[in-house]
Amino acid sequence: MLSRTLMAASTRPIILAILSRGEDYGYNLIQKVKGFSGGHIDWTEGMIYPVLQRMEVDALISSQWKISADQRPRRYFRITERGREELASELAGWGNVWKALNHFVEPLRAEE
């Protein structure tokens, strides 16, 4: 399970990363995250919608309503140019954090 803070920090980059592969809708986004993380990343499902709205307000993603085959209205989200930039900078950031973590964790293991 992720800590609250880590979850809060990671939600937007993960959504951006998924959408960078192609447009998608809320329910599916959740399923993808859950499926991939094997349940380690467990979002309160409804909470994704305020986040998506906020990202739309910030112009990172855009949305479009489509009626799916089962006659349900779905809002499909698509990453914007600004979203891609944001994703790149997030990735760089996460990469740096990851590198630093690895670096400082290594020596301890060596001493064991």
Partner 1 sequence: MIEKRGIMFDLERSIRDWKRNLQRQEAFEDGTVADLETHLRDSIDALKREGMPEEEAFHEAVSRVGGAEGLAGECGKVREYRLDLRRPWRTSRFMPALAGNYLKVALRKIRRQKGYSFINIAGLAVGIACFLLILTWVRFEFSYDRFHKNAREIYRVISEFHSPGGKINYVWTSQAPLASALKEDYPEIINSARALSWNWTIGQEGNRFREFVWVVDPAFLEMFTFIFIQGDPATALSNRDSVILTETLARKQFPNEDPMGKTVIAGRSTPLIVTGIIKDIPLNSHFDMDAIVPMELTREGNNLTEWGGHNYRTYIQLQKGISGEDVQQKVRHWGKNVDPDTQETIQLQPLTRIHLFALEGGGLIIYIYIFLAMAFFVLLIACVNYMSLASARASARAKEVGVRQVVGARKKQLIGQFLSESFLLSLIATILAVVVALAFLPVFRRLTGQEIQVSYSLETLALVVALAALTGILSGSYPAFVLSRPEPVKIFKGIFRGGQEGVLFRKILVIVQFALSVFFISGTIAISKQIHILRNKDLGYDKENIVCLNVLGGIEQNASAVKNRLMDNPKIVGMTIVDSFLDAPNSSASSSVIHWEGQKAGETIPWLIVRGVDFDFQKTFDIPMAAGRFFSREFPSDPKDGMIVNEAAVKAMNMDSPIGKKFHFWDHDGTIIGVIKDFHFRSLHKSIEPMVMKIGINLQKIAIRIRAGDVAATIKFIETEIKKIVPGYVFEYEFLDEKLDRLYKAEERMENINLSVSFLAIFISCLGLSGLVAYTAEQKTKEIGIRKVLGASVGSIAMMLYKDFLRWIIAANLVAWPLAFYFANRWLRNFAYRINLDISIFALSSALVLLIAFLAVSYQSIRAATAQPVDSLRYE
Which region, judged by CB under 8 A, interacts with partner 1, from 2-10, 24-32, 93-101, 104-112? Answer: 24-32
- How many whole angstroms separate alpha carbon 69 and alpha carbon 58? 30
Is residue 66 involved in binding partner 1 (CB under 8 A)? no
Selected from 36, 49, 94, 98, the binder of partner 1 by CB under 8 A is 49
Instruction: Count how many Cα atoms sit within 13 Å of the Cα of residue 103 in the half-sphere of its side chain.
Output: 6
Rounded to the nearest 10 degrees, what angle do helices 81-111 and 4-19 cross at? 130
Number of residues that bind partner 1 (CB under 8 A): 20
Dihedral (CA of 48, 51, 57, 62) sign: negative
Minimum gap (Å) between residue 77 Cβ and partner 1? 10
Is residue 37 involved in binding partner 1 (CB under 8 A)? no
Minimum gap (Å) between residue 56 Cβ and partner 1? 9
Percent helix, strand, coil in the chain, to 5, is: 65, 15, 20
Please list every residue from 69 through 98 that binds partner 1, using CB under 8 A. 72-75
- Take residue 33 and report the two structure tokens written for it: 């995250």
- Take residue 37 and report the two structure tokens written for it: 């993380």
Is residue 36 involved in binding partner 1 (CB under 8 A)? no
Q: Which residues bind partner 1 (CB under 8 A)?
A: 25-27, 30-31, 44-47, 49-51, 53-54, 57, 65, 72-75
